[in-house]
Amino acid sequence: MHENDGYFGESIAATYDESYASIFDSVAVGPTVDLLAELAGDGPALEFGIGTGRVALPLAARGVTVHGIDLSRAMVDRLSAKPGGDTIDITVGDFATTRVAGDFTLAYLVFNTINNLTTQDAQVDCFRNAAAHLRPGGRFVVEVGVPDLRLLPPGQSAVPFHISATRWAFDTYDVATQAMSSNYVTVGEGGQAKHTSIPFRYVWPAELDLMAQLAGLRLSDRWEGWSREPFTNESRQHVSVWEKPSI
């Protein structure tokens, strides 16, 4: 395991694609790639948190030049080993602050990965970093869930999202700090249980808009999902697009 892989080292990378097989399916990822390809146009795209290439590989197959930033060498090693992986330039580093050469028509950050930045300062830095990489008229896209605080009755801080005979998963929330964590308990042979916890910071849509404003970006669109469903007060997630003003 590489020392700087954070929470997505070899033990996670080894089974990541299988654990999230449902969202790697071409039908599931198709609307994501369709919209990102449209927004990228004729220019290159930059993915923050590129991981094992779930989005980057099919986007590159559509003819979009993709560059990726990711902290985990274990994850990107798997991307590079896949068919087409050698066509994607990858920089290992913190996507909140790492700069790469060139400018882009599109930067994007999907699947709740903005929450992997566990402080507000880091999330603000991420928006500034995206803006610094964008050409005038370029766009920054974030896919992230709406915090599930409506599911918390008074005195409760945990929300389960998976329960089976051998695996329990739940999120915990600290409403004072916006800290949260995803927790997984897996029961193996002999009844031995393994607990894994990954920290996050949840963030509200309006808070993201303010971060974008601080970075010189302006909101252009917000949908519930990649097929441009309307975003409503019942939406559990959103896909938001901010634009860098043209000079």
- pLDDT tens readout for residues 14-47: 776 677 767 777 789 999 999 999 999 999 999 9
Q: Which residues pair with 167 in a beta bridge?
A: 186
- pLDDT tens readout for residues 60-103: 999 999 999 999 999 999 999 999 999 999 999 999 999 999 99
- The burial of 61, by beta-carbon neighbours within 10 Å (0-12 exposed, 13-18 middle, 19 or more buried), is given as middle
Q: Which residues pair with 185 in a beta bridge?
A: 168, 195
- The burial of 245, by beta-carbon neighbours within 10 Å (0-12 exposed, 13-18 middle, 19 or more buried), is given as exposed
Q: What six digits make up the tokens of 162?
A: 């998976």
Cα 137 to Cα 60: distance, rounded to the nearest angstrom: 21
Q: Which residues contact 110 (CB under 8 A, 6 or more apart)?
A: 32, 47, 49, 55, 141, 142, 143
The mean pLDDT value for 8-19 works out to: 72
| CB neighbours of residue 107 within 10 Å | 30
How much is the pLDDT for 1? 39
Cα 74 to Cα 229: distance, rounded to the nearest angstrom: 35
Domain architecture of the chain: domains with CATH: 10-146+203-243 (3.40.50.150), 149-199 (2.20.25)
Least confident of 106-115, 132-141, 188-197, 219-228: 188-197
Q: Are the C-beta atoms of 222 and 203 separated by less than 8 Å? A: no
- pLDDT tens readout for residues 107-143: 999 999 999 999 999 999 999 999 999 999 999 999 9
The mean pLDDT value for 204-213 works out to: 98
How much is the pLDDT for 17? 64
Query: Across all residues in the chain, what is the average pLDDT?
Result: 93
Cα 182 to Cα 201: distance, rounded to the nearest angstrom: 11
Tell me the whole-structure pTM to 2 decimals. 0.93
SS3 state at 181: strand
pLDDT range class, residue 2, cuts 50, 70, 90: very low
Cα 146 to Cα 173: distance, rounded to the nearest angstrom: 13
